[in-house]
Amino acid sequence: MERSFKHEVQSLKLGDGEVFRGEGILAVTKALLQSGVSYVGGYPGAPISHLLDVLVDAQDILGELGVHLETCTNEASAAAMLGASINYPIRGAVTWKSIVGTNVAADALSNLASPGVEGGALVIIGEDYGEGASVIQERSYAYAMKSTMPLLDPRPDLPSIVRAVEEGFGLSETSHAPVMIELRIRACHVTGEFVAKSNRQGVHSTRNKFDAPAPHDYGRLSHPPVTYTQERLKVEERLPAARDFIRARKINEVFAGDLDDVGIVVMGGLYNVLVRALLRLGLADLWGRTRIPIYCLNAVYPLVPEEVRGFCAGKRAVLVVEEGHPDYIEQQINVILRRADIATRVVGKGALPMAGEYTAEAMLKGLAAFLAETQPAGVAADAIAKAVDELVARRAEAARDVGHLPPRPPNFCTGCPERPVFSAIKLMQCEIGPTHISTDIGCHSFATFAPFSLGNSILGYGMSLAAAAAVGPNLTKRPISVMGDGGFWHNGVITGVASSLFNQGDGVLIVMQNGYTSATGQQYLPSSAQHRPGGAATADIERTLRALGIKWLKTVRSYSVATMIKTLRRAMTTKAKGLKVIIADGECQLARQRRVKADDAARLAAGRRVVKTRFGVDDAICTGDHSCIRLSGCPSLTVKPSPDPLRTDPVASVIESCVGCGLCGEVAHAAVLCPSFYRAEVVRNASWRDRALDRLRRWLIVRLGGATGPA
Amino acid sequence: MNADVRPISLLIAALGGEGGGVLTDWLVAAAARCGFPAQSTSIPGVAQRTGATTYYIEIMPVPAAELGGRRPVMALMPGIGDVDLLLASELAEAARQIALGFVTPDRTHVVASLARGYLMPEKTAMADGRLDDARLVELVERHARASLVLDLEALAKEAGAMMNAVMLGVVAGTGMLPIPAEAYEAAIAQGGRAAEANLRGFRAGFAAAQQGRSQAPRPPEKRWRAGASSLAVLEDEAATLPETVRPIAIEGMRRLAHYQDADYAWDYIERVKRIAAVDKIAGLDGRLVRETARHLALRMSFEDVIRVAQIKSDPARLARIRTELGAQDGDPVRVVEYFKPGIDELCSILPPFLARPILALAERCGWLDRAYWGMHIKTHSVAGYLRLRALAALRPFRRRTHRFRAEQREIETWLVAVADAAALTPPLALEIAECANLVKGYGDTWKRGMANYRAIFEHVVRPALARRLPLAVAADAVANARAAALADPDGARLAATLVEIDKRIVLQAAE
């Protein structure tokens, strides 16, 4: 894994009264253990990867507590795992990145939510929304509504987050509904502290197993005819029970204020942004004392009509601060008030943006608009609006002053084994013309950015081949689908490969076999190589493909650009029909370097031979056209001012971070670029043979008119 | 109590994988050592992979013990006009935060690294696509309440530490936060193995900040050639040239003597003198002759196998590579070169009577773009070194090669065009001179550049000189075409631009 959590694991052991310090998502992990959870699982993805990563590093603690950990192959498998809580009174929690993970899990979630649960079942979702998100911008809220799963959205500070987890289990058990907790990106990574409790062992767990399976109970199957009953149970029993629990346990909070003819209803996760904006407008202080009353929804679904009516009654207007589209909460509040004949005006979308993250700026503008519209007594609403306008105008002016600044999107790491594959695709396209490229989720999607700018569509994780199914038949040239090994095991092997075989599809699939789900932090996957602790790989991509019936299959070392071009050309032009698969084989360089650097350091210290390789550019030979960079984009291949007094264009330069992957040489060769590149190796702790040969060569070269530097 | 107390807000702008997260942790840990409530957030996501990312920290400058059990509500993201301190590990990222409204003259102190991590368009540009560093520094200085711009990368390298440790030291050194140096050092010391290096970096940053002066972008270091006594007569001759062109002309002359021989350097000076005369008549103050002399030296020392072999087998080169690698005395160093000459390159060192029929045959058979000889030459081996020396030894025969003759013809055509244009309208002459920058590189790059150059000559320069294109627009047309040729490697923009220019020619002819 990318990050070691040895330090954090220690804080999972904290007992009653001790103070836990750390990230929000790790606080969730601790809260799960404090809640007597019997099983946990999930699929990695920002922003919740650390939750699983720390658990993987905490096997001994989990063992002591009898907690079963499952690193699932996708979110559907994680959601289905919660099925254990349908029949058995054991608590379980799973986690994934949302919206995408919830989409994948949706079928299992529906079938879980319909029969309902005995043991508390929690889904911790990392709401990948707003700045820093890597997925489509949609809300997970719709799933809570349609499957009748309460959705908690705690205030983004550690005690609130921990409380949401603990109360979430109670809510789930009381209402028999699985419960979702959403944490936005910054909430997952917010640091803070809370007073810990000792970990609790579940009544039943791997250390105290049930003696007998649950008896057959048709009512716990999501199968007709009980599905009709279950639908009724959801609205007649579970939702009311959930609302009662939320009220009784005071999950939602009201912060009173003196301007009580107006009010603000806010999603818990947005509370801090709201309070800071109020503070800047002089309407709140740093401790959260507010002049405008705030109703903070730590449970955003279901709403509690009694609470909503109680808060809104007697107010002229309320502002609903609800991030994202559609405005589910605002609509519900309108319905609740209308049904109760309460005339309070509901302001929300319009004053605040319909779509997009509620940043500090959006919040300031929204509040200013609300105040200007409602003119609360004793508030200089127009002066506030003017001040906010000026602030925004100054920002716009600064942006104009800076001018155009190209974005800096993520990129393949130095030495990444996926970069050469795209160099090869680009060069192949120079020969045979442009090709349709169906892209997928994973590090390889960075090829959609410059300098490759390759890819026609991204349809989701593991979906690239399926997304090309109807492209191929409509195009004269075969489409190329790119999939990572992560996407392959997540579902691509079935949705893509099996489906293509079944339908006699004719296309090209490149599987990036780098050994990890690299984009999310190098977690292991079923075909991870020998370095995985606890045993060898359990699955092999090549053998799996052969077993499925793939005939045209080549495994190519991903750094061999020339071979890759040849293989691609053949795959694109061969008369043979059917799916053609190229496995681009090369270990994730980040993972590899972590291992190699440690190994090399140990070998050097032990006085053993180490060869270090890196590339270089002769700056007197480079003329500054940068073709090499347009075919690579490597962070270690950059430009520097030309040392030539006659040249003004910067020349290419390989910086110290080069790991000597070999791509520069391969590309210069395959593309017929220029002879500026060289590969240099230094042998440390050289053997006597190395040294003798080196001395002899240098002696001869000096005699031939060359000098080779100090001996 | 403390009605006015507000948290100090810190925004860190960094590139993924640089250690911004660790820097954030240090700052929070140092604040915690002082008992100050502190909170950090980040948006790592996939931005961790060398993309731009930010970290945000709030620190209450009052010990928690004095807050009477109350907990401040801290923000999770920076607000426009609400940032006290911006730390940017890269200069353009500092500018990005200015554009986002997070640097304001009333509040924001900025510590920025002078080091540039070039953006992709800056690196992939076909000529010089770099942002102007001086302007970026000026932006920081103008928008910040106070700023300190330092070459943190150089400081880190010197200290043998990571840049984030140096940045922490700078923050401590400026005393902008109410946290004593010991608290930062203690936070670093918890870090285990790398702690020692990080402490070194911290102290380097601390010392640099205490000097309190920003650094300006360093002008690029140029390697001017030394004179040789054998060229004394030539040097004297060059000294008679106008002052504005003299350094360039001397450099060019020395370069060509090394490239070919003293006679060739003479040829160069003669040509420069011709343009100097033109420049004088046109009243261009030496601008034309300076630029032309610069390009002329580069064109005359065109890139061929002989020159590459000469540079690659230069005795000083291996020593430079050893230093780059940090090789200790006695560590064997191995260097492998990547050569892939095609028929073109090989014919370029043959005499015309051999080259022409071979090239004609190759073109007929379609071999030109397909037949290449890939070579990995081991310069450290005796055989590899001898191969390079053998190629470099062809130098005396260069004057008789096919390529040499062709290049001289092109150069003469270009110089005549420059001179003719100067007589018509000086700006056009300057633009034509600049066109030489399109012809550079090797293999496919050279072919593309040459094709673009010829297309511009054909469609713009010649019609302009023949007065078929209005002189008023001719210089702009050449400039536009040249910019278009450098806009994309596929030539799409150039083709479109030339079509537009062609229209003007047709119209003119019809009138």
What's the rounded mean pLDDT across residues A469-489? 96
Domain shared by B53 and B25, yes or no:
yes
CB contact under 8 A, B45 and A47: yes
Domain shared by B498 and B375, yes or no:
no
Instruction: Supply the range of the domain harboring residue A673.
Output: 609-685
pLDDT of residue A369: 98
Domain shared by B295 and B309, yes or no:
no
Domain shared by B281 and B315, yes or no:
no
Residue A703 belongs to a domain: no
Residue B416 belongs to a domain: no
- Asked if A389 is an interface residue toward chain B (Cβ–Cβ < 8 A), one would say no
Q: Which of A254, A250, A247, A273 shows the shortest CA–CA distance to A157?
A: A273
Domain shared by B296 and B311, yes or no:
no
Domain shared by B178 and B58, yes or no:
yes
List the end-to-end C-alpha distance of chain B, in Å, as a whole number: 85
Around Cβ B152, how many Cβ atoms within 10 Å? 29
pLDDT tens, position by position, A90-130: 999 999 999 999 999 999 999 999 999 999 999 999 999 99
Cα–Cα distances (Å) from A395 to A626, B57, B97, B108, in that order, read: 35, 21, 10, 14
CB contact under 8 A, A650 and B321: no
Q: Residue A533 — pLDDT band, cuts 50, 70, 90? A: low
Domain shared by B172 and B275, yes or no:
no
Where do we find the tokens 């990312």? Answer: B53
Residue B217 belongs to a domain: no
SS3 state of residue A124: strand
CA-to-CA distance for A666 and B376, rounded, in angstroms?
Answer: 11
Q: How many CA atoms lie within 13 A of B247 on its CB side?
A: 7
Q: Cis before residue A326, ω within 30 degrees of 0?
A: yes
pLDDT of residue A530: 58
Instruction: Choose among B123, B382, B442: nearest Cβ to A639.
Output: B123
Q: Which residues contact A512 (CB under 8 A, 6 or more apart)?
A: A417, A418, A421, A442, A443, A444, A482, A483, A484, A485, A558, A584
Residue B223 belongs to a domain: no
pLDDT of residue B507: 62
**With 90 as the cut, is the pLDDT of residue A244 above it?**
yes
CB contact under 8 A, B338 and A399: no
- Asked if B447 is an interface residue toward chain A (Cβ–Cβ < 8 A), one would say no
Domain shared by A343 and A439, yes or no:
no
Residue A699 belongs to a domain: no
Instruction: Choose among B45, B79, B332: nearest Cβ to A691.
Output: B332
What is the DSSP annotation of A272-290?
Answer: HHHHHHHHHTTSB-TTS-B
pLDDT of residue B366: 81
CB contact under 8 A, A271 and B73: yes
Residue A95 belongs to a domain: yes
Residue B373 belongs to a domain: yes
Residue A279, domain CATH: 3.40.50.920
- Asked if B128 is an interface residue toward chain A (Cβ–Cβ < 8 A), one would say yes
**With 60 as the cut, is the pLDDT of residue A710 above it?**
no
pLDDT of residue B509: 53
Residue A446 belongs to a domain: yes
Residue A231, domain CATH: 3.40.50.970
CA-to-CA distance for B36 and B61, rounded, in angstroms?
Answer: 6
Chain A residues 277-296 with CB within 8 Å of chain B: 277, 280, 285-288
Domain count, chain A: 4
- Asked if B317 is an interface residue toward chain A (Cβ–Cβ < 8 A), one would say yes
Answer yes or no: pTM beyond 0.90: yes
Residue A602 belongs to a domain: no
pLDDT tens, position by position, B425-447: 999 999 999 999 999 988 888 99
pLDDT of residue A289: 96
Residue A642, domain CATH: 3.30.70
Domain shared by B449 and B487, yes or no:
yes
Domain shared by A237 and A290, yes or no:
no
Q: How many CA atoms lie within 13 A of A363 on its CB side?
A: 27
pLDDT of residue B46: 58
Residue A708 belongs to a domain: no
What's the rounded mean pLDDT across residues A616-621? 94
Cβ(A608)–Cβ(A658) under 8 Å?
Answer: no
Q: Identify the H or E element spanning A296.
A: strand A294-297
Q: Residue A535 — pLDDT band, cuts 50, 70, 90? A: low
Q: How far is A267 from chain B (nearest CA, A)?
A: 15
Where do we find the tokens 């002082």? Answer: B34
CA-to-CA distance for A284 and A274, rounded, in angstroms?
Answer: 10
pLDDT of residue A522: 82
Domain shared by B25 and B96, yes or no:
yes
Q: A616 forms bridges with which residues in the sheet?
A: A678
CB contact under 8 A, B252 and A646: yes
Domain shared by A519 and A640, yes or no:
no
Domain count, chain B: 4
pLDDT tens, position by position, A361-387: 999 999 999 999 999 999 999 999 999
Q: Which residues contact A541 (CB under 8 A, 6 or more apart)?
A: A485, A488, A511, A513, A527, A583
Residue A230 belongs to a domain: yes
pLDDT tens, position by position, A584-610: 999 999 889 988 999 999 999 999 999
Domain shared by A489 and A503, yes or no:
yes
Cβ(A515)–Cβ(A526) under 8 Å?
Answer: no
pLDDT of residue A536: 59
Residue A694 belongs to a domain: no
The mean-pLDDT minimum among A595-599, A621-625, A707-711, B207-211 falls in A707-711
Q: Which residues contact B73 (CB under 8 A, 6 or more apart)?
A: A157, A271, A272, A275, A276, A286, A287, A288
Residue B450: phi and psi, rounded to 5, are -65, -40
Residue B21 belongs to a domain: yes
Mean pLDDT over each residue of chain A, to the nearest integer? 94
Buried b (16+ CB within 10 A) or exposed e, A426-458: bbbbeeeeebbbbbbbbbbbbbbbbbbebbbbb
Q: How far is A653 from chain B (nearest CA, A)?
A: 10
Instruction: Choose among A413, A675, A700: nearest Cβ to B338.
Output: A675
Instruction: Supply the range of the domain harboring residue B320.
Output: 305-400
Domain shared by A296 and A192, yes or no:
no
Burial (CB < 10 A; 0-12, 13-18, 19+), residue B245, is: buried
In this prediction, the residues of chain B whose per-residue pLDDT falls under 50 are 1-2, 510-511
**With 80 as the cut, is the pLDDT of residue A233 above it?**
yes
Q: Identify the H or E element spanning B267.
A: helix B262-282
The two three-digit tokens of residue A140, written as one number = 């997970």
Tell me which of B283, B301, B319 is where a domain ends.
B301
State yes or no: ipTM above 0.90: yes
